Structure formats: C-alpha cells, structure tokens
Structure 1
Amino acid sequence: MRVAVQGCSHGSLSAIYDTVAEYTRRKGEPVDLLLLCGDFQALRNNHDFASLAVPPKYHALGTFHEYYSGARVAPVLTIVIGGNHEASNYMWELYHGGWLAPNIYYLGCAGSVMVNGLRIVGSSGIYKEHDYRKGHFEKVPYTPSTLRSVYHTRKYDVEKLSHLPPDVPTIFLSHDWPIGIAHHGNTRALLQRKKFFRTEVENNTLGSPPMLELMKKIQPDYWFAAHLHVKFAAMYEHGRDEKRKEVKEELKETRKQLEKVEVTDAVEVERRESVYDDVDLGGRHANPDEIVISDDDDDVPSPTKHVSNPDEIAISDDDDAPPLKPAAKAVGNPDEIAISDDEGEPANPDEIAVSLSDDELEDELDAALAMTSTSSEPTPAAEDPSPQPTAPASPSPAKREGPSTTRFLALDKCGHGKEFIQFLDIPAPGQQSPPRLTFDPHWLAITRALHPYLSLEVYGAALPPREEQEALVADELARIKEEGVLVPEELIEDDFMADMNAEFEAIERRESAAERAAAGLPEEEEPSGDPKSESDPLPQCAPLDWESADNIEVGRVQQFWPTAPPYPGGDAGQWYTNPQTEAFCGMLGIQNKVNPRPVLR
C-alpha cells in the first residue's frame, strides 16, 4: 500500500494534497493513504480561532474550511491526529474519533482503526507532567489556562492504548517524539541542525515518556511523529535496553569481585584498569553503547547556554507564566511559522524532491540501527523496502509477533524547501483500492471496558489495577466477538448528502436571520417544506442490526455531518453535539459523556 506521511500541517491542507498529486503525476503511482501527524488546525470559521492556541499574529484560516464546507473534497483517504496547535473545540466534539470532513478521519484523543488490515494507531496532543493524571475537565469556551491544557496527553488515554496487542502490522502516529528516541539515530546530525536540543538530548528529557512506554508495549512496525520541525530517522531495537541493563549489572558485579582480589603486580593493575576504559561504571569512563556528543564540537553550542527553538510557536504551557515576549528583531527567524505566507500559493513542483526516496530512508534507518547496536551484538538485516505481495482482503487481520525493531521517522512542517512529507510502500494484510477503513475490534473492546473511568473532572476516579483492566478488556472482547455491535443498516449515500445539504441550508438561514435581526430588518419568509432540520438538526438514526465487529466499515456508523456553520459564521462560545460521537457511543451501548444531545423541553 502506498502511504504518504506528513509532519505538521499548520493549515496548509491544499498544499499537501497538491504535493501528493504532483508525486502521483511524476511517479505514476497513486497514493492510497495520507497520514498527518498533528497541528492540523481544523478551522471551520473565524470563530474557531478562540479555541486555537497560537498568538494572534499566527491567525490564518488556512484551507480546511473549504473541505469542511464541501467546496473541495479530499482526493485521498486521510487520517489525522491532533497536536498542540488545533481548533480544540472541534477536536473535542470527536473525542472518540470521526470525520472532520469527507474523507478526512480524526483518530480522536486516542484511537485505532484498520486500513486494509493494517492497524493505524494514534495519540493526539503533547505531554505535560502536571496535567497527565487529570481528567478531561476543559469546557468550551476555554480560558487562557484550559486553552493550553486541553491538548495535553492524559494517562487515561495512554492506558487505553497500552492494551493494544502487538499481533498485527501496526503504524503509530504521535505528535510528540518518544523520549530518548534521539539516541537511536544520527544524534550528532540532529544537533547540528537543531542546536537548541542539545541540553534536552544529553539529559534525556527530549520527548514524551508515555510515548516511549507505548512504543515498548505495542512494538509497531512504523512510528511517525512531528512537533519539533525537523526530519529525523531512527531505529528502536526492542529488548536492547533490557540487555544493556543486564550487561551493566554483570560488569558492576565483576568489578566488585575484582576489587576484593589483592593485586601487587603493577603491570597486572594497569591491565585490569584498562578493561574498564570504555565502560560506564558510574565514573568518568564512556559507555561503549552511548552515542558520544563532544562538548568541543564547533558546530554545537555548549549546554551551559540555553538556545531557544526558532521553529517553535512561543506559547507557555505553565498556567501562571506571563506571556512570552517575541524574539528580538535583530536575531531573525528563518523558519518562522508564517501560515498566511503560503496559503493560496500554487504548490511547488519541486517540493517532493526534498523528500527522501525509499532507498535513502532505508539507508538512514540502517545507519541508525548500526549506531545503536553494541559491538558484541550483530546488526539485524534491514527489511527490503520494496513493495511486497499482499494477500487478498480478509475479515481477520494477519497475526504476527512483534518486530525486533520499530522504524521511527519524524518530519518537518509543511513549507517550501522543507522535508515535510515521505512516500512509502508499506505491506498491508489486505489489498483493496480505494482502501477500506474499518473499526479495530480490539479498540472497541478497550473503549467499552474502560469507558466508566473516563473523567470530565479535574481529578476523577483512578483506573483499576492493571490486572483488572486486562480482565475487563478480555471480557468485552469476548462479548463483542459473541454478540457483535449495534450498527445501522446500509446507508444510501444520496439520502445522506441530501440531509447534509438541507442542514447547511438551515445553518445559512439561521445565520441570515441573526444578521437581519442585528440590523433591525424584518425576518425573511420561511421556506415551505419539511422543517426537520430546523426542529431537530441532528440526523435521524437508521434501523440498527447486530453484526460482527471484525469487518465493519467506519462509514456504516459514522458519516460526516457539519455542526458549526462554515466560514465565515459561528459562535466562539458555542459547543455542539456531534452526531458521529452519538453514533459511535450508540454502536457500543455507552453513554456519550463528551457532548450529549441537549434535552428539549
């Protein structure tokens, strides 16, 4: 399956699709799936800026609203996660996942779906320790504090993801990098490009600790990320950290035993000490497995002097911190995020030239694996990156043991001359074009099992012990396999689009009536016809059937439905019940805690 992976989008959706189209034109190879790693900025109208955590100078509408309104349609199946610069009000409507626009699917705060039998897992947001154990307490309209905390990763969502087994081919999407991943690639080259990462890399604080734990637990074949605005490839070898720890413990024990032996021969003493010249035993010696970063490197500044990230949008995540002052004008920022600069410009026909080819990426991954391998361990052979034959589509995904390594790739933000997109051939258990997006039965079981612990308070009920969680998930998985889930009968696309168009017309009438009232003009005459969309703006549920959860297409249950009015209208303080969330919760028989339908009196 041909997959395109994008780093930060920052609202440049049309430019990304133009790049995919240009790749297809040049290579003659259509792209089956596009993966976007956060900072998507799904702005539907001007009022969504109130829920976007960026300084006003970065307020640019982008092009997503054109896909939301139906003026454009995404040309390829697109799967999205959230970052730290999002229209958080809209993302919250689809906490469990759903269509942001036709053919653009959001995985939610955490989620997992299947595409042709390939598991696509995602974790939205970034890690901040002080909010990690809190509930999802933020509510629209956001305060200056909750506007930042709303996109912070929560332990509840990470716990849910940790129950996914490494039994099928898997791709993981995150905005944050897993902590420590910088040590599993060409660290020196990374620090030469991003000098301000040096202190965090050396202190092993660059990235998210929960993401590393998920990498170890799920052991995905591929892990794609963004956030730091740089291309970086790495190979994470599973089990190697445990082996290294065992070796260190053995060496320490050996040293203790040797120190008990009285040695009088100076030559023997010198020989014995030389054994430990390259082993880290808590002293001044270097670890043979460690990627050494020289303090004297002329291209890397000393860690004693902090250097800010020129790519970062300066937003403090500390509730009480004063607003950050802009950088001095004399410094200049060559990578400043000027979202409006690129909007509306034609795509650069040479843009795909900055993306690595498959062979070049495989070379980087091989080099990363060689760097992280100990001298006593053989370097595993890299897999052939060329397209592999795939089996016909089948209801059950192919089982497999977790891989010995995870291929990690982070990409830059969308922009001219930046390495922001990568095209890959990734084998999938099934082959179908266009690809089939189906629910992940294991994720459905996890969601239903742990739904009672979803807290909308600052501090909610603690999750049960791990053993109890596993038992709950196992029970729900058995129940889903035995009973199935409640899904609508096959929907007729023409009827659905007619209902959606009627809702758009109703929204426009309401906006027009409000504007006329504000201007003191008389109300327009109501159009004759079925007033269903005015009296009940939510779509009506089709007849339901119990079906096996193994192969249910997402479109059977969730179909895009506009909630807020498209550009330019809207209300910054308004929240909306999203029919897709209602449908997802109805399928599993769980309460919609996120945005339940208001009770009409």
Structure 2
Amino acid sequence: MVKVAIVGCCHGELNKIYNSLKNSYVELLIICGDFQAIRNYRDLDMISVPNKYKQLGDFHRYYSGELKAPVLTIFIGGNHESSGYLQELKYGGFVAPNIYYLGDFGSIYYKGLRITGQSGIWNEHSFMNRQVETIPFDNSTVRSIYHIKAKTFLKSYLMKDDKCIDISLSHDWPQDIVHYGDIRGLLKYKPFFKNDIETGKLGNPLAKILLHNLRSRYWFSAHLHVKFSASVEHENKKRKGSLTNSLPIEKKFKDDIKEESIQNEKKLNLINKEELSLDMDEENFSNNDNTPNKEELSLDMDEEYSSNNQEPVNKEEISLDMDNEFSDDKEINQIGIATNLTTEFLALDKCLPKRKYIEYLDIESTNSSSDENLYFDKRSIAINKVIENFVKQNSREWAKISKSDLLSIDTSLTTLVDELNREISFEVSKLNKLPDSEFVIDQKNFKIIAPIESRSEIPLKYWQNNQTDNYISKFMK
C-alpha cells in the first residue's frame, strides 16, 4: 500500500503544497501539471503567461539546493510551464532533488505502482505539427510547444500491454468524462461549461481514447480548476478499444439540469465571465495552425472567484477518505492483470486557499514492492526507441498519417499498431536480459546546469542535460 497525495495545478506554489503535507505520512506526491519549473529569470521568457504573472515562484529554491522536497514528487507538464527546461528533459528526469518530471511521455515504477502520463494539452490545430519548436519562442511557438503532438499520443497509446497500469496522468480532462460523474454538481460551480459539455467540446479526445484503451485503475487530471470525480466502467471484453464505448447517460441534458445551470450562470456571470479567458492565448498568432484553444485557461480566471468565496470551503482538505467520493472497491484492488474493468477518475483544483486542490489515497500496487527507487518502465523505453526510429526512417509513411487516422486509431491504424507492437515487444525482450539495476532512475544524476536565480544576463538557450544524454546513449542506440 502506497500513501499518495494528488495535486491539481501547482502554478509554482511548491511551498504551500509541501506545507499541506505535514503530518500526513505521504510517500509520493503527484502533481498534474502547470508545475512551473522556473530556475531563473531567463526561464520566464519561455513560459506562456501574461507578463503580470511572470514570477519566479518557489521552484528555483529547490533547483539551487536551498530547499529540498520533503517527499518524492512526480509531475507532468501542463500549458503554463517553463517549456525550455522541460524540453531539455523530454524523456524525463529529475528537475531538482526529489522532484521528477515524467517527460513529454513517460512511464515509471515506484514501490510497484506503474505510473504513466503525457504532458501538455490538446489543440486540434497544432496536433499534427511536425516541426520542432525552437528557441527563441514567438507568440505562436511559446504555446504550440505545450500542445500534444501526434508522436507523443502514439507513444502513449502503445503503452497497452498485458500488465496493469495503476495510474495515468493527463493535464486536461478526457473528453466526455463528465458523463461518468455528477454533472449537476459540476455545473453548480462551473455553469459556463454547459455549452461545451452539450457539444462534446469539453476535454481532450486523445485522453478519451487512452482512457478506454489503457484501462488504468486511476486517472488524475487538473486544468479546469475544479474538483470532479467519476467512475468509468469499461466494456467487459479484454482490452477493448475506446471508440465503441457508450456513455452512461445521454449527452443531451434534461430540462431541469439545463434550467438549474442557467440560473447558476446568471448568479455567477459577473464572477466567472473570464473563467475561460483567452487573454494569454490571443496575442498575435502568426499562423492558422495555432488557433487559440478555448480550453487554454487564463491564470487570472480565479482571482475574483477566490476573493468572493464563491466556491465552498473544503473543510476536509486533508481527508484520507477523499470525502467519501472514492470507495476502496475490492474489484479495483484485486483486479486481474489485463482485465481491469473500472477506472476511477479524479480532477483537482489549483493551489489556492479554500480550494480542493489536494487529495490523499492509499493505493495498493498490483506489483507489490518496498523498493523506494524510481524505475524506468521497460515498455516506455522500447516505445521511445521504436517510435523515434520509425518517424526518422519512415518519414513518408509517417507524413501520410492524418489527424483523423489517429483520432480513430482503434480501427484505422490496426496494421501499423500491430507492426509497432511487434517491434516494441522485441525491444522489451532485449531489455529483459539486463539486470534491474540498469533501470533505476538515480536522482544523484541531477546536476545544476543552468545558472541559478539571478538578475544578471543569462543566455537564452537550451542547456544540454546529462540525464537526457545518459538516456539516449543507454537506451536509444
């Protein structure tokens, strides 16, 4: 059993988050994005936020060694990140002692828990961009760099194998997840979600595919700045694909729910009219491929909401029973390796006072282990190698794959998926011959490479990271 704390959007508030963990005996902290690993003032040139919100935050003190994270912390990237630093660790790595970034895509083991995730958010206009964003970022690329790309999605999709994934992470919510939980309760706090829910535009369609394909025991997200839980029952067929799964309730709302949401919207209109503000995403887009995404949230969306106390106080913020919203279902804790039929979903708020941004779970791993080291998931290593080689060596075939192909991957790309899976299995068989010690992710490999916090002039560049170099030389050749 692993005592896990889950946090929604961090927004650089590490000190507040770690202070919340005092006396909680947490072994592992998971942060679901908008972490903001800002090392110095130059990193502020590589983050997509309005200028008035560009501040160092707490992370630079952990990067420099002035402070150390009191608990092992794992995070994915969101849409408000120090994108330069995260790109230096695209295959994952420690950004500071005891703080590990999963990478664009990654999967690791901790005490037997298999944890996988992908960073960034969905944007249909840049999903198929095949050009790599480079420094210096402009008003377009500073945003498109955190949009999930086709290659990253394909890697995540191929994580399905005969072993259970305990935890999956995405910054934005899987599309249609709201239909598996309390929509009425959600609309009390976020009435302006109504239209996007009705039209199916709320959420990430890639995450929806992965949710049903991977069938993780737990799925954690953030981004929409509200706590929401759901329970997804998958089809009773071994590893069935996602697109045939029907929703548990009709997408068309009942009249009473519509009327209730309308009344709530009137009450909260002045407070919430900027909740989905595009003020950080509307500035001078240089091409049509990076049209603003309506779900790229503004950092200022909660200021009035917070100051007017419109959201209820979470008096049980440090509750180990998660406010009774998650039951410790025996079916979940005693699942068969490849037959998990239920995914428990939880999204959390941003780190602000009186907000439901943190929850605690005791999670029993399907691969019991007391080893406190982080380990690379061999399958994720094999996937990185196979997909990177495929994209480089089969550029014409890769270029022929369309967005619609990937959004219907369960049926449109079965031959390719089968071929890639065979190559991945072959690579895994080679990795299986190596001792377990070869897959330990040693935080002693962390080095301070970029200059620490300083107002002196710092070059705008990618700093070559030894952890990435080691990963490539060890696993990608």
Q: Does residue 476 of structure 2 align to residue 589 of structure 1? A: yes
Q: Distance in 2 between matches of 1:187 and 1:356?
A: 24
Using the TM superposition, give the Cα deviation of residue 103 of structure 1 relative to its aligned residue in structure 2, in angstroms. Answer: 1.0
Q: Does residue 214 of structure 2 align to residue 213 of structure 1? A: no
Which residue, 305, 308, 329 being the options, matches 1:383?
Answer: 329
Which residue, 341, 344, 363 being the options, matches 1:407?
Answer: 344
Relative distance call for 1:215 and 1:309 in structure 2 (3 A) is: farther
Q: Conserved in 2, the CA contact under 8 Å of 1:89 and 1:575?
A: yes
| Alpha-carbon displacement from aligned partner over 1:479-537 (angstroms, at most 9, x marks no partner) | 4433658xxxxxxxxxxxxxxxxxxxxxxxxxxxxxxxxxxxxxxxxxxxxxxxxxxxx
> What amino acid is aligned across from residue 333 of structure 1 in structure 2?
E
Relative distance call for 1:440 and 1:246 in structure 2 (3 A) is: closer
Structure 2 portions without partners, runs of 5+:
308-312, 402-412
Q: Distance in 2 between matches of 1:20 and 1:121?
A: 23
Q: Does residue 243 of structure 2 align to residue 308 of structure 1? A: no
Which residue, 63, 69, 81 being the options, matches 2:64?
Answer: 69
Q: Does residue 79 of structure 2 align to residue 84 of structure 1? A: yes
Which residue, 471, 477, 480 being the options, matches 2:425?
Answer: 477
> What amino acid is aligned across from residue 194 of structure 2 in structure 1?
R
> What amino acid is aligned across from residue 259 of structure 2 in structure 1?
D
Which runs of structure 2 are paired with 1:54-65 in the superposition (5 Å)? 54-65=49-60
Using the TM superposition, give the Cα deviation of residue 579 of structure 1 relative to its aligned residue in structure 2, in angstroms. Answer: 0.9
Relative distance call for 1:229 and 1:18 in structure 2 (3 A) is: same
| Alpha-carbon displacement from aligned partner over 1:233-288 (angstroms, at most 9, x marks no partner) | 11111128999x9999xxxxxxxxxxxxxxxxxxxxxxxxxxxxxxxxxxxxxx77
Q: Counterpart in 2 of 1:15?
A: 16
Relative distance call for 1:575 and 1:332 in structure 2 (3 A) is: closer
Q: Does residue 396 of structure 2 align to residue 448 of structure 1? A: no
Q: Does residue 452 of structure 2 align to residue 566 of structure 1? A: yes
Give the secondary structure class of the aligned counterpart of 1:400: coil
Q: Distance in 1 between matches of 2:245 and 2:159?
A: 30
Give the secondary structure class of the aligned counterpart of 2:91: coil
Using the TM superposition, give the Cα deviation of residue 432 of structure 1 relative to its aligned residue in structure 2, in angstroms. Answer: 5.2
Using the TM superposition, give the Cα deviation of residue 37 of structure 1 relative to its aligned residue in structure 2, in angstroms. Answer: 0.4
Q: Counterpart in 1 of 2:405?
A: none
Which residue, 226, 230, 234 being the options, matches 1:234?
Answer: 230
Q: Conserved in 1, the CA contact under 8 Å of 2:179 and 2:251?
A: no
Give the secondary structure class of the aligned counterpart of 2:115: strand
Relative distance call for 1:477 and 1:385 in structure 2 (3 A) is: closer
Relative distance call for 1:334 and 1:416 in structure 2 (3 A) is: same
Q: Distance in 2 between matches of 1:72 and 1:8?
A: 21
Give the secondary structure class of the aligned counterpart of 1:233: strand
Using the TM superposition, give the Cα deviation of residue 74 of structure 1 relative to its aligned residue in structure 2, in angstroms. Answer: 1.1
Relative distance call for 1:570 and 1:185 in structure 2 (3 A) is: farther
Relative distance call for 1:483 and 1:237 in structure 2 (3 A) is: closer
Using the TM superposition, give the Cα deviation of residue 173 of structure 1 relative to its aligned residue in structure 2, in angstroms. Answer: 0.8
> What amino acid is aligned across from residue 575 of structure 1 in structure 2?
Y
Give the secondary structure class of the aligned counterpart of 2:259: coil
Q: Conserved in 2, the CA contact under 8 Å of 1:310 and 1:335?
A: no
Larger radius of gyration: 1
Q: Does residue 52 of structure 2 align to residue 53 of structure 1? A: no
Instruction: Please report the RMSD computed on the Cα atoms of aligned residues, expressed in angstroms.
Output: 3.7
Identical positions, percent: 33
Using the TM superposition, give the Cα deviation of residue 125 of structure 1 relative to its aligned residue in structure 2, in angstroms. Answer: 0.7
Using the TM superposition, give the Cα deviation of residue 418 of structure 1 relative to its aligned residue in structure 2, in angstroms. Answer: 0.7
Give the secondary structure class of the aligned counterpart of 2:44: helix
Q: Conserved in 2, the CA contact under 8 Å of 1:110 and 1:122?
A: yes
Which residue, 401, 407, 416 being the options, matches 1:468?
Answer: 416
Using the TM superposition, give the Cα deviation of residue 404 of structure 1 relative to its aligned residue in structure 2, in angstroms. Answer: 1.4
Alignment: residue pair count: 438
Give the secondary structure class of the aligned counterpart of 2:21: helix
Relative distance call for 1:314 and 1:476 in structure 2 (3 A) is: same
Q: Counterpart in 2 of 1:294?
A: 257
| Alpha-carbon displacement from aligned partner over 1:402-448 (angstroms, at most 9, x marks no partner) | 32111000000011111100010000145555722101011111111
Which runs of structure 2 are paired with 1:229-378 in the superposition (5 Å)? 229-239=225-235, 292=254, 294-297=257-260, 299-301=263-265, 308-310=273-275, 314-316=279-281, 319-320=285-286, 333-335=304-306, 353-355=315-317, 357-361=319-323, 363-365=324-326
Q: Counterpart in 2 of 1:112?
A: 107
Q: Conserved in 2, the CA contact under 8 Å of 1:65 and 1:567?
A: yes
| Alpha-carbon displacement from aligned partner over 1:94-146 (angstroms, at most 9, x marks no partner) | 01111111111101111111112211111111110010011251001111110
Using the TM superposition, give the Cα deviation of residue 335 of structure 1 relative to its aligned residue in structure 2, in angstroms. Answer: 3.5
Relative distance call for 1:85 and 1:41 in structure 2 (3 A) is: same
Q: Distance in 1 between matches of 2:346 and 2:194?
A: 19
TM-score norm. by structure 1 comes to 0.66
> What amino acid is aligned across from residue 448 of structure 1 in structure 2?
K
> What amino acid is aligned across from residue 226 of structure 1 in structure 2?
A
Which runs of structure 2 are paired with 1:96-175 in the superposition (5 Å)? 96-165=91-160, 167-175=163-171
Relative distance call for 1:434 and 1:13 in structure 2 (3 A) is: farther
Which residue, 36, 39, 43 being the options, matches 1:44?
Answer: 39
Q: Distance in 2 between matches of 1:288 and 1:144?
A: 40
Using the TM superposition, give the Cα deviation of residue 459 of structure 1 relative to its aligned residue in structure 2, in angstroms. Answer: 11
Q: Distance in 2 between matches of 1:563 and 1:422?
A: 34
Q: Conserved in 2, the CA contact under 8 Å of 1:224 and 1:409?
A: yes
Q: Distance in 2 between matches of 1:246 and 1:61?
A: 46
Q: Distance in 2 between matches of 1:480 and 1:423?
A: 34
Q: Conserved in 2, the CA contact under 8 Å of 1:359 and 1:385?
A: no
Give the secondary structure class of the aligned counterpart of 2:203: coil
Q: Distance in 1 between matches of 2:314 and 2:257?
A: 34
Using the TM superposition, give the Cα deviation of residue 165 of structure 1 relative to its aligned residue in structure 2, in angstroms. Answer: 1.9
Using the TM superposition, give the Cα deviation of residue 192 of structure 1 relative to its aligned residue in structure 2, in angstroms. Answer: 0.9
Q: Distance in 2 between matches of 1:64 and 1:402?
A: 40
Relative distance call for 1:385 and 1:476 in structure 2 (3 A) is: closer
> What amino acid is aligned across from residue 222 of structure 1 in structure 2?
Y
Q: Distance in 2 between matches of 1:423 and 1:185?
A: 19
Q: Conserved in 1, the CA contact under 8 Å of 2:177 and 2:230?
A: yes
Q: Distance in 2 between matches of 1:54 and 1:234?
A: 30
Q: Conserved in 1, the CA contact under 8 Å of 2:112 and 2:369?
A: no
> What amino acid is aligned across from residue 316 of structure 1 in structure 2?
D
